[in-house]
Amino acid sequence: MRRELAEEAGLDLADLSPFATEYASHDDGTTVPIAVYAGRWNGDPRELRLTEGVMLAWFTPDDLHRLRIADTTSALVRRHAAGLPPMRSGPEPGLEPAPVEHRPASPHGTVPHIIGVHLYLERPDGRVLLGLRHPDSAFAPSTWHVLAGHCEQENAIDCLIREAREEAGLRIERRDVELVHVVHHIGQPRNPPRMALFFRARTWGGEPVLREPDKCTQWKFWDPAALPDDLVPYTRLAITKIRNGEPYSETGWPA
């Protein structure tokens, strides 16, 4: 547990205690025990450098109804909270009080959305840049997709500029970026909703190179009238909408 905390979030927690054991079942019927530990930390999760996942944040048990969260995890949190003494008005000895963010109550069912940035890079001949995702990719393996990434602690355009540099060695200036399409989409029922922001770079420096071959194995400019069959569906939708001058689309939501 301590190794995972250190590797994934850079946390070093000395005080961990067993709290519960949960059980997960495989498709073949075998059952695996999962040890759950309780610990205490009083820091700002926004300052952690994550190596897995995209965000950590504090939530109270009263917030759980607005999150897409596994029922077993929600039950664990509520069971743990039920066994705690009432909250005191002051900080514990030796601990500074954590900053409290006063927010209006969210309507029932409100959930955070993940923001993804996408680069629509079109050459003067009309061909569009796509990358072939690695076969071991957790998302869309061996499938073509535009250059994309998730926003971290940054604004969307800075994220786009960073991802273009890190993934393909492209140099893009803020003044050359414009928002051309937004796809509001959702996948599996328990996956969080996503806002896919597609930005066009009117001009750029450099040619695409493989900077992260563990994520993308090939860059290629494609004729929009002859896109590859194995293309991420919402990317195909976005390219069509961009060429039609339509700024917004939705996919995956129930009718």
For residue 104, is it within any domain?
A: no
Q: Which residue type does 69 have?
A: I
193, 66 contact by CB (below 8 A): no
Alpha helices in the chain (DSSP H): 2-9, 71-82, 156-168, 233-244
Q: What is the pLDDT of residue 190?
A: 62
- SS3 (DSSP) at 217: strand
Asked if 50 contacts 8 with a C-beta cutoff of 8 angstroms, the reply is yes
Q: Which residue has the higher pLDDT, 17 or 106?
A: 17
pLDDT band at 255 (very low <50, low <70, confident <90, very high): low
On the question of pLDDT at 202 being above 80, the answer is yes
Domain residues for the domain of 159 are 114-251
Count structural domains, the chain: 2
Q: Cα(105)–Cα(87) distance, rounded to whole angstroms?
A: 20
pLDDT digits (tens, 9 = 90+) for 77-90: 888 888 777 655 44
Lowest mean pLDDT, pick from 43-52, 63-72, 129-138, 211-220: 63-72
The predicted pLDDT at position 112 comes to 82
- pTM for the model: 0.60
What does the pLDDT average to over 104-127?
82
Q: Are residues 69 and 125 in the same domain?
A: no
Residue 67 pLDDT: 75
Helices (H) and strands (E) in the chain, counts: 4, 10
Summarised one tens digit per residue, pLDDT across range 148-181 is 999 888 999 999 999 999 999 999 999 999 999 9
- From 62, 82, 102, give the residue that closes a domain: 82
pLDDT for the residue numbered 203: 97
User: Domain of 227: which CATH number?
Assistant: 3.90.79.10
108 within a domain of the structure (yes/no) = no
- What pLDDT is stored for residue 91 in this prediction? 46
Domain annotation covers residue 90? no
Domain boundary among 59, 82, 105: 82
CA nearest neighbour of 58 among 103, 88, 2, 21: 103
Q: Which of 70-74, 128-132, 149-153 has the highest mean pLDDT?
A: 128-132
Residue where one domain finishes, among candidates 82, 106, 134: 82
